[in-house]
Amino acid sequence: MLRLIGIALAAVLSTQALAQPVVVGNGGSYANTTPGNVVTVGPTAGQAQDSGVPISSLPSFSGLFTANHLVVGGPANNQIQDAASIPTTAPGAVIVPRGMLYGAGNVTAAPSSFGNWGAVSTACAGDLRKVLEAACFQITGSATLGQPTTGYLYTQEAYPNPVYLYNSSGFNNSTSGNTGRTAAVAHYTKVEQAGQGDAVGNTVVCGLDGQTLAGATSFLANPACGLYDGNAVAGASGQYLNLTEFDANDNGFDVAAIGTVINLTRTVGTGALGATWIGFRVQSVGSTPADTAFSASGSGGFKFGLDLSNATLDANAAAITLAANQRIYGNVTAGQFFPSGVSNTYFFYSSANSGWDFVVGAQPALLLQSTEAFIYGPTVQIASASTNRINMIGAVTTVAPQIIAFGGDTNIDLSLSGKGTGTLVVPNVATGTPVASLCLDSTNHIVKKTTAGSCI
């Protein structure tokens, strides 16, 4: 049976009464039919059969039909008409794929005329004879799609091509993965690119007119233009909601691949009604936290995990932003899809300390504030590329902290000096005759003098 879907065609021109409804021409292909014979409806509704009557034996109908056009029933019972002559404005206008009438399937030359796809009224005015399906469809009337007060309403009966796919078939061979798996698909498209330029499976162009919602206080209340959206709803525990998935395979060739490219062309940055531009956003709106907002994995590996080096930033130069007390962790253990748990090593901006806190092994290690830096731990090593270095050792109350030379040599001097003509200043905190003094020897080393009197 012929599938009557597509664009509305032009005026009821002519009809001819017949003994039974017929379809003449090459509008379809059916089993058990003879080429050149008339195909009739039957033997039951929704079927077609060979009438046994050759088309050549039918009357010519005085030139009422055009060669290679589809002939359909109507406008009344026991009548037929040239489908290409039915007007879009006629009551009960038949909708037929134009390509069905003109042998769609091989476009070898440019169309003879073009529609103006800037408006729905002129888009389908071009030469669509080789197009399988074309639709210039309008939804008008302020209440046509309903007027809900809450929630979100779909009105399938007002859409050009609503599809309901129900699948109770399917198979998955593995119980631990998706190996040996079938697919049920509502719309399947295969594109083979054998030319130049781009070959694209689906292109959606959505443009907003000048309408806004009176009294709107947020951009979310105004009309929107969406290219793709949808919902995935689970029906049992353990199921998988896979919202979007793409595969790119170089097939052994040196090619380029980018998973997703989003071009944002913003020329006005006023931000009225809270209008914002975001290249990628993940929203967790359930009562339980999602496991991760972004995850990268795969045995092939990556050269860079996150690259912002090509980003042009404004005066703030905010390549990465974190709120106070949000942490960056190191030494985590990777899980299958996200870390199995966080470690006890991290750093963050502490609102309590008004500075950057570095924690290693659950112990505070470093605090950087605007005017001070604190290094924690019983021993702090100030190292360099050389073997020898100094240790600074803290102490409890009543015990003096220490600065000690440390390294691989058996004996290591500790040099303290000023810059230029500057000297080492030791505060005078004692009175009376000292029982011990620090003096410089002939090699400018500090030595301890235990007898009273001058160092000279």
Give the predicted TM-score (pTM) of the model. Answer: 0.68
Angle made by CA atoms 258, 244, 302, in degrees to the nearest 5: 40
Q: What is the pLDDT of residue 96?
A: 46
What digits encode the pLDDT tens for the residues 364-387?
999 999 999 888 877 777 766 667
User: What residues have CB less than 8 Å from 59, skipping those under 6 apart?
Assistant: none
Joined tokens for residue 30: 């059916």
DSSP bridge partners of 49: 40
Q: What is the pLDDT of residue 231?
A: 93
Q: Any idea what DSSP says for residue 274?
A: G
Rounded to whole angstroms, how far apart are CA atoms 208 and 358? 50
Q: What is the pLDDT of residue 83?
A: 59
Joined tokens for residue 197: 């330029």
Rounded to whole angstroms, how far apart are CA atoms 152 and 366? 52
Whether 354 contacts 369, CB under 8 Å: yes
CA distances from 424 to 275, 413, 415, 419, 429 (A): 62, 16, 11, 10, 16
Q: Can you tell me which residue has the tokens 């006629």?
A: 90
> 88 lies in a domain?
yes
Which residue in 77, 76, 132, 143 sits closest to 107, CA to CA?
A: 132
> 128 lies in a domain?
yes
Q: What is the pLDDT of residue 378?
A: 72
Whether 348 contacts 358, CB under 8 Å: no
Q: What is the pLDDT of residue 437?
A: 64
> 348 lies in a domain?
no
Q: What is the pLDDT of residue 36?
A: 63
| Domain count of the fold of the chain | 1
Backbone angles phi, psi at 353, to 5 degrees: -100, -5
| Strand ranges inside 311-396, DSSP E | 327-329, 346-350, 355-360, 363-368, 373-375, 379-382, 389-393
Side chain identity at residue 13, one-letter code: L
> 441 lies in a domain?
no
Whether 186 contacts 163, CB under 8 Å: yes
CA distances from 298 to 19, 140, 440 (A): 69, 49, 65
**Signed CA dihedral, 44, 47, 51, 52: sign only:** negative
Q: What is the pLDDT of residue 4?
A: 32
DSSP bridge partners of 172: 181
> 378 lies in a domain?
no
Q: What is the pLDDT of residue 142?
A: 93
CA distances from 405 to 347, 391, 412 (A): 30, 6, 6
End-to-end CA distance of the chain: 122
3-state secondary structure (DSSP) of residue 56? helix
Q: What is the pLDDT of residue 240?
A: 94
Q: What is the pLDDT of residue 431?
A: 55
Angle made by CA atoms 241, 243, 249, in degrees to the nearest 5: 115
Question: Which residue range is the domain that position 36 belongs to?
Answer: 1-142
List the pLDDT tens digit at each of the 456 positions of the chain. Answer: 233 322 232 222 233 333 333 443 334 444 566 666 666 666 665 566 666 666 666 555 555 565 555 566 666 665 666 655 544 444 433 344 444 445 545 788 898 899 999 998 888 888 887 777 788 889 999 999 999 999 999 999 999 999 999 999 999 999 998 999 999 999 999 999 999 999 999 999 999 999 999 999 999 999 999 999 999 999 999 999 999 999 999 999 999 999 999 999 999 999 999 999 999 999 999 999 999 999 999 999 999 999 999 999 999 999 999 999 999 999 999 999 999 999 999 999 999 999 999 999 999 999 999 999 888 877 777 766 667 888 888 888 998 888 888 888 889 888 888 888 887 776 655 555 555 566 777 776 777 666 655 565
> 294 lies in a domain?
no
User: What residues have CB less than 8 Å from 193, skipping those under 6 apart?
Assistant: 199
Q: What is the pLDDT of residue 13?
A: 26
Secondary structure in 3-state letters for 183-204? CCCCCCCCCCCCCCCCCCCCCC
> 85 lies in a domain?
yes
Backbone angles phi, psi at 384, to 5 degrees: -135, -170
Peptide bond into 339 cis (omega under 30): no
Whether 64 contacts 16, CB under 8 Å: yes
> 20 lies in a domain?
yes
